[in-house]
Amino acid sequence: MSALVFTLLRIGFLALLWIFVLAVLMTLRRDVYGTQVKNRGVASSSSPPQQRSRRKATQAKSSSQHEQQAGPTQPTLLTVTAGPLAGTTLPLGSAQIIVGRSPDSALVLDDTYSSARHARFYQSDGAWWVEDLDSTNGTYVGGQRISTPRQIAPGIPVVIGRTTMELR
């Protein structure tokens, strides 16, 4: 092999190596610093926040009394029970719910321990399932890390980083 071909191969290999290193650094930067989470704002309502929270508490009490009388029903809410977003609720419908740091997630977590698209909640055959979306730090259901989709029942804690949530 001539010296020119050998030199060109060395330069090409060095360029590919630097491209790989830069790609790794960009991925690490995006994962460590994440995206900027912007507040979505408070829903407009004529009543002050204290009255809204009292109304929600009253509705929750009456609905829990109704559930006790009627027996177990399908969950209707995904509720954050602990963490920075404690008290946040999302209505459960037929669409999946993506949880993570990405602004296009249904539940945006401002948590360095969560990935951009960390987990998804979805309904299949009348039951709710949670799936870890290859996150770095994992998703825990009932204290156990999951690697495959897991069926969840109301009241079972799902932990993502510093955030704990459950179906209600």
Domains and CATH numbers, the chain: 75-165 (2.60.200.20)
pLDDT per position as a tens digit, 51-80: 555 555 555 555 555 444 444 567 888 899
Amino acid occupying residue 161: G
The predicted model scores a pTM of 0.58
pLDDT per position as a tens digit, 9-26: 999 999 999 999 999 998
Provide the Cα torsion 143, 144, 145, 146; round to 10°. -120
What percent of the chain stands above pLDDT 70? 76
Residue 23 has a pLDDT of 94
Q: Flag whether pLDDT at 37 surpasses 60.
A: no
Buried b (16+ CB within 10 A) or exposed e, 55-94: eeeeeeeeeeeeeeeeeeeebebbbbbebebeebbeebee
Rounded to whole angstroms, the Cα distance separating 92 from 75 reads 7
